[in-house]
């Protein structure tokens, strides 16, 4: 937030300034969809840790289970050892998520973060195909370590590596060029051995690009990508780190497309209460690592397993998902009304489920709206290559009152900055 007169946390403290966001306050407490700072000021959270707090802050049942476990001297750290929380998570994930969807995946723990699951997916695709290259899409974001950054299509972020990032090709995402069939373009490159586009090990995509500007791929486009992968014997990796865990209304963001990726990356909200955790789902035939070929110290966070198992209760019936869809419809309708009511925004509604945004043409205006909203008690962030999209990711457990209150702060902020 650049337009505020107040100092950001990084300016107040001697923290390294490598992160794009800085909020001019010190936060103290949080519950559900609300946070409070040290002055007791209340904020509504439309950011949710960039999709990490789908179940809200400090869910009571998750908190109780974790406290009980610690008080009973449960094992906190266990590398890859079998533990009760790990066993329970694996069993419940299979029962509640995979089986009802007829999905057959091996579950691996790649490390605690989103970038760890993407790295593991890229590695396994390269190992099983023996190929080097990976195709990703314009405006993709997959992480900040060398491998995941190499499939991230943002030149500013890539510049942060300080070295050339090899073996990846960026292709146009769905609707990147309006009314152009990006699949035909991709197909042509693959067919033409002289094109310079080598047959890749994998194609990696987000069904809704989060950091890249809330670009939602159409279901038909996703189906075509899957068909193309099958035709060319390429692994399809869906990075559901931000769009998964119910963010778009279904547990996996790709469910409405009826596709079955070869590898699925999940992190962020998988840890339930905001604890670091990631999983990589791998089709059984690609489970080809020998012991020790891919390991890491923090792969067995038992507190995260406990919260993650508790979070799965939300998916035992259709109720949770239906409620998310209903709230999503309300959010989308309100966003569209705001765009109509304030034509000076020249806004465009984007997104799917509770992953929505308003793209705003005028440079810097989206950031100004977010900074104004913050002063008024709403945490909302920008995304997109030029920070031109105001992005809404409220916790999925937010109620109607919270959504209405947040959206009315947004409207006040639009009025203030466009007056
Ligand atoms: N993939 C996607 C789609 C993401 O949105 C993110 C984080 N914003 C990542 C990967 C990387 O996750 P992490 O920051 O935990 O490494």
pLDDT, residue 2, reads 43
Q: Is the CB of 113 under 6 A from ligand 1?
A: yes
Q: How confident is the model at residue 94 (pLDDT cuts 50, 70, 90)?
A: very high
Above 60 in pLDDT, residue 41? yes
How far apart are the C-alpha atoms of 302 and 318, rounded to whole Å? 27
Query: Which residue out of 110, 264, 267 has the highest number of ligand 1 atoms within 8 Å of its CB and is therefore the one to mutate?
Result: 267
Above 50 in pLDDT, residue 1? no
> How many residues make up the chain in this entry?
419
pLDDT, residue 354, reads 98
Above 60 in pLDDT, residue 13? no
User: Residue 22 is inside which H or E element, if any?
Assistant: none
265: β partners = 239, 280
pLDDT, residue 173, reads 97
pLDDT, residue 389, reads 97
pLDDT, residue 18, reads 47
pLDDT, residue 405, reads 98
Q: Is the CB of 119 under 6 A from ligand 1?
A: no
The CA-based angle 336-337-340, given to 5 degrees, is 90
How far apart are the C-alpha atoms of 236 and 265, rounded to whole Å? 11
pLDDT digits (tens, 9 = 90+) for 316-341: 999 999 999 999 999 999 999 999 99
Q: Is the CB of 267 under 6 A from ligand 1?
A: yes
Q: Is the CB of 210 under 6 A from ligand 1?
A: yes
Above 70 in pLDDT, residue 35? yes
How far apart are the C-alpha atoms of 253 and 240, rounded to whole Å? 7
Q: How confident is the model at residue 4 (pLDDT cuts 50, 70, 90)?
A: very low
Residue 418 buriedness (CB in 10 A; 0-12 / 13-18 / 19+)? middle
pLDDT, residue 7, reads 59
How far apart are the C-alpha atoms of 331 and 31, rounded to whole Å? 21
pLDDT, residue 129, reads 97
Ligand 1 atom nearest 210 alpha carbon = 5
Q: How confident is the model at residue 12 (pLDDT cuts 50, 70, 90)?
A: low
Give the HSE-up count for residue 149: Cα atoms under 13 Å, Cβ half-sphere: 15
Mean pLDDT of the chain: 94
pLDDT digits (tens, 9 = 90+) for 237-265: 999 999 999 999 999 999 999 999 999 99
* Cβ-contact 153, 139 below 8 angstroms: yes
pLDDT, residue 301, reads 94
Q: Is the CB of 137 under 6 A from ligand 1?
A: no
How far apart are the C-alpha atoms of 143 and 114, rounded to whole Å? 7
pLDDT, residue 16, reads 54
Q: Which residues contact 296 (CB under 8 A, 6 or more apart)?
A: 110, 111, 116
Helices 302-311 & 84-92, crossing angle to 10 degrees?
30
pLDDT digits (tens, 9 = 90+) for 272-308: 999 999 999 999 999 999 988 999 999 989 999 999 9
Lowest mean pLDDT of 76-85, 94-103, 243-252, 324-333, name the range.
76-85
pLDDT, residue 137, reads 97
- Backbone phi, psi, residue 412, to 5°: -55, -40
This prediction's pTM: 0.95
> Is the complex ipTM more than 0.90?
yes
Lowest mean pLDDT of 23-27, 112-116, 387-391, name the range.
23-27
Summarize the confidence of residues 42-68 as an average pLDDT: 98
pLDDT digits (tens, 9 = 90+) for 362-419: 999 999 999 999 999 999 999 999 999 999 999 999 999 999 999 999 999 999 999 8
- DSSP class of residue 284 equals G
Q: Is the CB of 114 under 6 A from ligand 1?
A: yes
What spatial distance separates the first Cα and last Cα of the chain, rounded to whole Å?
Answer: 20
Q: How many CB atoms lie within 10 A of CB 313?
A: 13
């Amino acid at each position: 937030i650049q337009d505020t007169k107040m100092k950001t946390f990084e300016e107040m403290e001697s923290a390294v300034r490598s992160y794009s966001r800085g909020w001019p306050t010190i936060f103290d407490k949080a519950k559900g969809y609300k946070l409070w700072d040290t002055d007791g000021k209340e904020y509504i959270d439309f950011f949710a840790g960039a999709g990490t707090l789908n179940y809200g802050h400090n869910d009571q049942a998750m908190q109780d289970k974790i406290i009980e476990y610690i008080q009973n001297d449960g094992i906190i750290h266990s590398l890859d050892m079998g533990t009760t929380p790990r066993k329970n998570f694996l069993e419940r994930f299979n029962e509640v998520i995979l089986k009802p969807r007829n999905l057959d995946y091996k579950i691996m723990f790649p490390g605690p973060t989103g970038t760890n699951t993407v790295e593991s997916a890229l590695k396994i695709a390269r190992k099983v195909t023996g190929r080097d290259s990976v195709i990703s899409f314009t405006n993709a974001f997959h992480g900040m370590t060398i491998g995941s950054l190499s499939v991230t299509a943002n030149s500013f972020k890539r510049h942060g590596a300080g070295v050339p990032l090899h073996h990846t090709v960026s292709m146009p995402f769905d609707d990147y060029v309006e009314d152009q069939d990006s699949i035909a373009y991709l197909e042509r490159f693959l067919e033409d051995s002289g094109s310079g586009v080598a047959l890749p090990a994998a194609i990696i995509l987000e069904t809704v690009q989060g950091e890249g500007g809330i670009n939602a791929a159409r279901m038909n486009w996703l189906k075509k990508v899957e068909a193309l992968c099958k035709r060319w014997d390429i692994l399809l990796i869906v990075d559901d780190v931000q769009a998964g865990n119910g963010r778009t209304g279904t547990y996996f963001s790709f469910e409405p497309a009826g596709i079955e990726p070869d590898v699925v990356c999940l992190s962020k909200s998988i840890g339930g209460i905001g604890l670091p955790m990631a999983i990589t789902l791998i089709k059984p035939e690609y489970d080809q690592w020998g012991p020790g070929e891919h390991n890491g110290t923090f792969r067995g966070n038992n507190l995260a397993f406990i919260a993650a198992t508790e979070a799965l209760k939300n998916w035992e019936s259709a109720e949770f998902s239906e409620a998310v869809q209903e709230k999503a419809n309300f959010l989308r309708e309100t966003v569209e009304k705001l765009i109509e009511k304030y034509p000076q925004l020249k806004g465009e509604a984007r997104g799917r489920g509770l992953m929505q945004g308003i793209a705003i043409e005028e440079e810097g205006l989206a950031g100004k709206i977010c900074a104004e909203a913050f002063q008024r008690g709403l945490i909302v962030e920008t995304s997109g290559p030029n920070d031109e999209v105001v992005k809404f990711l409220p916790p999925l457990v937010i109620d109607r009152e919270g959504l209405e209150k947040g959206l009315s702060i947004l409207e006040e902020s639009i009025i203030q900055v466009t007056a």
